[in-house]
Structure 1
């Protein structure tokens, strides 16, 4: 069922999510499929509807940086810098996952992809729910992601409890995925924000840090 975004619809969507429901909503890239990321049954339904392999993790949207701690065991300093610079925006940061997160969410990788979306509809939905929400692209695995509510309905018909219509999304490149490990920063997927731009930001940050340290000894 497609419904235009409104305060009443956000409250209904939050109610459905709390009951293990599956919804669709717009983000700054494509429409996403949303469930409660801490609900294993809801995640199983999401994977079945999307026909997604269970070893593929699902990214999660947060309302603000404070919610990151609900998902991530810790945030490496480099990723924190990127969070401060690019959020809200199309940058998904792959962080070490809290041990208690459902395995379906992490795909057994022990990491979790997290993003703060700048999309107004997504942000109002997150505020209404009060917790993070999954936002894997609204499509069957291997098919084109939906950019409109109507495309979501065609792809899934009655398999989704609620489709929030927030207008046409930009489509094109998805969010960039960046992680951090023993070898340093790594590009998991190039997207809206180029990896070169990300590296330049961190290089500038490190240069300023070294400069500050140098002058502190003068």
Structure 2
């Protein structure tokens, strides 16, 4: 990936906007974030308002590589220190007990806080400039709540500038996000009683985390903290999304086409037979990381195809695809119900 050009003047302007309480969109290696001063409750509230996000749905605080993590939390357990050493800067968010002086707006009223140090050079330059590197930027994805996350600056403009009245003071352009899906989220706030708990899969796998910690990562339980991007319906385009297994794909497409459905297809197989005419098609890589890189761009592209349905060939179920499958499952939350209705 070509290194993005860092416009220092734009970085300084964005940092001053954040310090004044405004919203700034900025690139990370996962997706673009909608940033505000994490210690300014009014600024964080403006994130929720701009996104239409429920106020009890926490946001992640981004910090510079040199940041003092202990400022944000009650304590930094050795497990957190080990994961920071192994994976930061990078696409890993740690949930830890929130320090008393940190406003609860960033945690949706919970006693924990999510922290991440991004690896994107533009994000790091912004974090180092903002409050002299000592601040934190609350930064959920820069899109309306529940919609497809943005992986380019243009995606952010498309999401918020449709009528020329954007709530965002400025957008930093850092090219297309390299990873393409949101960070892995690990809960360490209950480490003594529950061990490490996976709240959201991502580019860094549970197996990689378990290898560093020397213990298996547990699945989320009913009492786990709420975390970004974990609602059943999320990451969804406006056009309904249907997940269809590879073996049934050609037949299902033909059936839907004969029923008068206009279809857009996202697939990774080289399908050549049994294919009806399509409104649009987005061919994907058959390798998990490359697929993740293009996933949100594909969903956004197919959402503009004026199709009745976006049909997605279900990816493999191996560990490498866990993050991709998590996003697609949430994007196609009502997929089975739509298919069941179609087959009637």
Normalising to structure 2: TM-score of the pair? 0.56
Question: In the alignment, is the contact (CA less than 8 A) between 1:29 and 1:173 conserved in 2?
Answer: yes
Pair member with larger Rg: 2
**What RMSD over aligned residues (CA atoms) do the two structures have, in Å?**
1.4
Distance in 1 separating the partners of 2:43 and 2:92: 25
Greater RCO (Cα-Cα under 8 Å, separation 6 or more) = 1
Which residue does 1:156 correspond to in 2? Answer: 160
Structure 2 residue matching 1:165: 3-state secondary structure: coil
Question: In the alignment, is the contact (CA less than 8 A) between 1:79 and 1:179 conserved in 2?
Answer: no
**Cα displacement (A) at 1:74:** 1.0
Normalising to structure 1: TM-score of the pair? 0.88
Distance in 1 separating the partners of 2:72 and 2:60: 11
1:36-55 equivalences under 5 Å are 36-55=37-56
**Cα displacement (A) at 1:86:** 0.7
Q: Deviations over 1:101-149 (max 9, x none)?
A: 2221111221111111110000001111122112211111110011111
**Cα displacement (A) at 1:5:** 4.5
Which residue does 1:213 correspond to in 2? Answer: none
Q: Deviations over 1:57-108 (max 9, x none)?
A: 1101111253312211111211111111111111101111011222211112
Decide whether aligned partners of structure 1 residues 116 and 148 sit closer, same or farther in structure 2, where only a CA change above 3 A counts: same
Question: In the alignment, is the contact (CA less than 8 A) between 1:47 and 1:53 conserved in 2?
Answer: yes
Number of residues of Structure 1 aligned to a counterpart in Structure 2:
201
Out of 126, 137, 147, the position equivalent to 2:141 is 137
Distance in 2 separating the partners of 1:159 and 1:171: 26
Q: Which has the higher strand share?
A: 1
Decide whether aligned partners of structure 1 residues 159 and 66 sit closer, same or farther in structure 2, where only a CA change above 3 A counts: closer
Structure 1 ranges of 4+ moved more than 6 A? none
Gaps of 5+ in 1: 205-218
Which residue does 1:128 correspond to in 2? Answer: 129
1:1-218 equivalences under 5 Å are 5-129=6-130, 130=133, 131-157=135-161, 158-170=166-178, 172-180=180-188, 181=190, 182-203=193-214
Decide whether aligned partners of structure 1 residues 151 and 173 sit closer, same or farther in structure 2, where only a CA change above 3 A counts: closer
Distance in 2 separating the partners of 1:66 and 1:14: 16
Structure 2 residue matching 1:198: 3-state secondary structure: helix
